[in-house]
Amino acid sequence: MATRRVYHEKQVMALCGVHALNALLQAPIFNEVDLSEIARSLDKRERDLMAQGGLTTPEFLNFVAEDSQNVSNDGNFSVSVLCEALQVYNLQAVRWSSGQGEPNTLNAFICNRQQHWFTVRRLLGRWYDLNSLRARPERISDFYLSAFLHQMVAEGYTIFAVEGALPQADPSAGAAESGRWWSEEEIEADKQSEDAEGGDGFSDALAKTLATMQGVLAGAGSRVQSALGMGAGDAGGEEEDDPELRAALQASLEEFKAAKGERREGGG
């Protein structure tokens, strides 16, 4: 029997939307340029629709004066962009709530809070948290899945159930620079090593992201702006640290630390 492999990408800059899609599809399918092109197409469609009401209306003038609603300069993508990307694979992301039934009857979820996206997916009968802020994939037991999703909702996440036939994990597809294929044995060994050192993969990865936010965001922004056909002048000058993204990541870190003990007692 072939060794089970799980694909996971670590956080790079503000590209969690890219990581969430690739984790869902279990292959390095998309990059920031691909999603930027989708965002540009959505922007054009929205602009054309607004123009039908008249090119001189206050609504249209306000719309064209605003930045894109589908991608920010640092590479954060809207739900519309992710949904459009999923349609390529005949997949749909549908808003989910705990009252809609047992989550174990589904195969994947995409979670979003402010500017962070991550995927939870069933692979070969087992659930995994594929959050790019984690050091590795994390197993979620069938018993704990419902409690996990409830906790995400309590923390302010919006949950989307992914409907459609998901592609199977395919290690032959290779990996992105930030990606890796993990075996069950490697996941467990890495977890034990981290526990022995007193570390916390989620907190460590998040702390590194926070520590390197300023500067690296400009790199992501330049690639996104290039894909959108924007010059340095269009971007408004030199990129600065994104306070909203920093606040969102810091809030996730604080909440994770506060809930860590409770989750371990609950199993998973």
**How far apart are alpha carbons 232 and 239 in whole angstroms?**
9
**How far apart are alpha carbons 125 and 246 in whole angstroms?**
35
Closest CA to 6 of 147, 127, 151, 166: 127
**How far apart are alpha carbons 200 and 196 in whole angstroms?**
10
User: In the annotation, is 31 catalytic?
Assistant: no
**How far apart are alpha carbons 224 and 19 in whole angstroms?**
15
**How far apart are alpha carbons 119 and 187 in whole angstroms?**
17
Q: Which two tokens stand for residue 12?
A: 């790079």
> Which one of the listed residues 19, 73, 107, 116 is annotated catalytic?
116
Distance of CA 238 to the CA centre of its chain: 26
* Total Cβ atoms within 10 A of residue 218: 16
User: In the annotation, is 150 catalytic?
Assistant: no
Cα distances (angstroms) measured from residue 170 to each of 1, 7, 8, 181, 251? 15, 9, 12, 9, 34
> Which one of the listed residues 22, 111, 131, 150 is annotated catalytic?
131
Closest CA to 93 of 101, 85, 83, 103: 83
Residue 127, SS3? strand
User: In the annotation, is 116 catalytic?
Assistant: yes
Cα distances (angstroms) measured from residue 35 to each of 63, 94, 115? 21, 19, 15
> Which one of the listed residues 16, 19, 76, 112 is annotated catalytic?
16
Helix (H) or strand (E) segment spanning residue 201: helix 201-211
User: Which residues are known to be catalytic?
Assistant: 16, 116, 131
